[in-house]
Amino acid sequence: MSGLGKVIVLIGLGIAAVGVILWALGKAGFHGLPGDVKYESEHVKVYVPIVTCIVLSILLTGAMWLWRWFSGR
């Protein structure tokens, strides 16, 4: 059971790290990449981060590929 506790703590620390990074990017003025769809009217705000999702997908795929390659699987 202690192994499961360690995994949960690591997942929590990872989520906290991502939150800190996103918070810092927002404070630095990053509000998405060019190509992200943003619609604002008087009562409605819609933000669809299409390009940001594509870039994150490419980066995560590359990181997972490298991890598999270095681990020899």
pTM (two decimals): 0.59
Give every residue of the chain whose pLDDT is below 70, as ranges: 1, 73
Q: What is the pLDDT of residue 17?
A: 93
| C-beta separation of 4 from 17 below 8 A | no
pLDDT tens, position by position, 50-65: 898 899 899 999 999 9
Short-list 15, 12, 34, CA closest to 23: 15
3-state secondary structure of 29: coil
| C-beta separation of 52 from 36 below 8 A | yes
